[in-house]
Structure 1
């Protein structure tokens, strides 16, 4: 009770992610990556010309990735590859130099200062004419695919809501992901207390200081210094704030859970290896290729062996064009080592066949759904999409995906949480599910992981024009299928809003459960969503079908905060499961009113 009313909600600030043109808090390519990358280069960076190459005609290229056939000397000798680059440059009349060997064995070659489209085409033609060259592709610039916008599990509709949630709680009855490392190939990691316990060794693979903005090239520190940019940089007229994109993605996968704060991670028993490839203006294929190789246990020259090999890779990033041979080679290598690769379909509302690495083989390509189970308005679609998962839509902030973040507009500041939207947010839902599956059954191959996710999906609750793969992923059903045993994990919900009168009689909201048989579990979970301007006034009870009352929350004159958004655990093992359960709410003091927005029971 209080003498004045407040409408403050204390929720995380809304953040809006738009295109590459305005990475205010995360990045999204709303136009094709070709158009985005062809914009002016950042200050001090080399110009990015347009070249027609195997991967995507018209794709910008300032350097090339060259794959040699296995019998060629250049396939193993850096000296031979350097000599070959010089020779081909001489023939083309251009300055071509060997830069380094990628983890797949391919060579990365520079094209000199400010080459024109014709210059690049001449060099490409020389390599293509060489019978010892298997492929030549541009080293493209990739962008994080997200559109951003609590700190409490009750707000994570994407995990548990009956309509379009991914039914994660039922999977937790069987596994939490322990023993599995997930590599998040992204912007790196900014320290967050709700995630730190699950972070293991990673690596910073950004080789160019203009992109890394941390003062150096590759090193063992994957800390995210921020990816902000000023007006006129990254080909954009206006500046943008840092996104902390990799930290948001990581929180969805493995934020610490049952720790009395923040959000829950899908595979909260798993570990996250942050692998930094995206910095200012994005990140190059060559760095991403080496990151894929290293994260999955492959060898990359000059980089220490990975002590925390990932069984799952999450790539919430991408660009336009076909999947290059160079990128496909890295993915194939990772899969051959037993690592499942999960990628975002993209956020351009177009066929994902035009987005890479979404269109690569041997990956699980993920489309995004909204809170009603429709394909999200921004999500790519098509026959190459394998599965859909919650990605959210933040026109209403609470309909986005809530995860760990940082409040810094440029450099790191205080930790916080925020709602984002995007296929970047859908992808870690599937990476988290893959980690749960590998923990439940370590013998699963990447192909078996993909097959089980697809075969145990449920029909999309809403609509998807263009194709959203096998449907909406079902975590409980999928994990049960690969592990065996019994997991109910069913959620029953009421979304009918009920007004709570000021200092009045109790109101009730019913949920009817049928067909379960037997008793309720000892860990019955009761999710509550109440809007109220002084939650200390409220008493909240669960009423069982036989009339037994379980107190969830008592009144408190000292609790002046807003709202009750929480999940309570009740030992209801003495109650019959079937019947009508009721949530009872009463306001015990004057001056404040509210609404019971909805609630759910998870068995």
Structure 2
């Protein structure tokens, strides 16, 4: 065999036995796991194929996708021997068809929680996940409840030339990148294959995740005491953005380069091992949730709404790790929605881009959109949520409720970079004293000044979001459908980790400064009965209509039209609705869809034994 097999890390969940050997067929559709396993742990000098990243590690296979994939099957696979297995590498997930919204069921969710809280002797199991291959269908990995989980290390791909592959999904939950295949003529991944063969055509984010898992195994070899959060911090601290080409690179509030396509950059094995050797454990993780005032906000077609949430306190969280925006949003066509989140430090994150193939009318129900782009920032200050509705005609959307969930530490973690401190929040203006001094009499032409700042009113109590299931597709290896999935539940409601939960009530939003104004004249040119309404001159403003471009401009409607829309939709001075131009999306190059099924479980052991891998998913 080409790699060392670990029976304690192997199981056939489909047949309920301890032999996860792949089922052979005429087209070798179950080759996926064998290929992923070779990337991780193929032994040195094997005379058959390439060596693995962690060539002294042992590897096991879990056969789970060659049959009905239920919530119980997933949970059994993700919780296999967590005191023995260090790293779970998963190159599978919901359909990458650009229209599915799906995530872990209740049992699989509990398996994640148990893994990070009790796995590896309390240090936490490390879950490495392929971000998805739905780029051709304009899919977004924030609609995948596995890759956008705080418990998984989501990995994307880069071509040999540092470009975004045609299959790559851009989203704010991607943490880092490794190399994989690209377009025709570009190199692909060399690894082991069925029939004791070697292949040079392993592709997709399925090939990227095992490379990341192997690098994590090297870091664990340098320091076996690393926790699951230590590993994520080390990845963020050492990832290299250089030589990766994407139009959306930006610098966050603590000076780190980050991209929706590449996360924080290419994983650097040498840098991770060096940093891991002397890495102190990160401070304990805290969590706080800030609920926005409840209001049903209608978003007409071809418009957007901006909402602000002032975070004045977040107990135990001064340095952010993950941020979730839990949103309930109804729409007549879900794929027409775009969502952006801007932090107090000015980091603008695209939580959801348009998905042209998503025609669902079910919207999002308490769906947790996740971002790692504000890693290291302070949560205090004003957060802005911007929702675009690109629907045509009368396709309106309705925002029912939303909240922000912050995960982070009270003291700086070892990887903290930057010194951003948000401006202090001014205290409420005190009421005037009862006995005011006599004011001097103003001249006839003098103006009377009125205070623009009123005393803030306390917020009203809000209920937690109810448990509800986002609409979902089916869990299958692409391209064939295998089985139906159980509906998901609202994540984190049953979580027992991290410690501490503080729910803060957001005060009513305060009026913003006057930035624009119009004079609207109403009257008639002739006798009453022949009304003629005039419009004010149009003014151009820059808005962001695309996920990554900031230079699109639109024209505002006339003042009378704006007033009509505002009266109909109940807008206030805190929310701006502007007519948007239609945006068309490009189309990436097609390619062969991936075949096979597999999940690979990597165990950090120094034994040298031969191994068998079984296939799991379909992100090749």
TM-score range, shorter chain: 0.3 to 0.5
The structure where helix makes up a greater share of residues is 1
Which entry has the higher C-alpha Rg, 1 or 2?
Answer: 2
Larger RCO (CA under 8 A, 6+ residues apart): 2
